[in-house]
Amino acid sequence: MGYTGFVVAMAADIEFAACALPSRILHRKSEHLIASRWGDDGEFLAVSRTGIACGPGDAPIGLSPLSTWVGLLLSEDRGEIESRFLMLRRLPTGLTIAGSFIPAEGYLRLRRRDAALKLKAEGRHADCLDRPDAATAAPGDDPRPSAAIAWHIEAVQRPWAGQFVKPPAA
């Protein structure tokens, strides 16, 4: 993908569903996310919810991560246009992230289109099927792991004063 190190803000449309019925959308929300990629070969991708609703224009300066999903690089196309990551159930030993880690099963797909990054993600809390109410848990705006939910995310990069993008290696 060329961009193996960055921190960017994204405007996201998030659809929530009960964990055991992830295709049945129950609630929708627009929210700013923070996406960051790092590692020796850009092998980690973190996507954090901020709880801040999207508005027109640039992302607000005061975004901070509340809850964070982490993905490990699965594959990258040769044209460096798309990277795919598997969401992690556990943080690797010694890995520190911003926000509260959310163990998940699912994927993150990052695409570069022109100068902007686009993200698509689908998943659910990794421990949600162990809950007796998994089929009926109503998703809300609660980003904590106790709110067992599934989600579908489509997001696009927004200009942000807190942005950092490491230039691709020559």
Phi, psi of 128 (to 5 degrees): -70, -30
Which tokens is 147 given? 């709110």
Assigned domain for 91 exists? yes
Cα three-residue angle 107-96-51, rounded to 5 degrees: 60
Give the pLDDT band (50/70/90) at residue 133. Answer: low
Tell me: pLDDT of 102 over 60.
Answer: yes
Domain carrying residue 66: 6-162
pLDDT tens digits, one per residue of 159-170: 999 999 887 665
pLDDT tens digits, one per residue of 27-72: 999 999 999 999 998 999 999 999 999 999 999 999 999 999 999 9
Assigned domain for 168 exists? no
Assigned domain for 104 exists? yes
Entry field: residues in the chain: 170
Domain count within the chain: 1
What secondary structure does DSSP assign to 50-116, as a single string? --PPP-SSSPPTT---SEEEEEEEEEE-TTSSEEEEEEPSSPPTT---SSEE--EEEEEEEEEETTE
CATH number of the domain encompassing residue 40:
2.40.160
Q: How confident is the model at residue 139, as a pLDDT?
A: 47
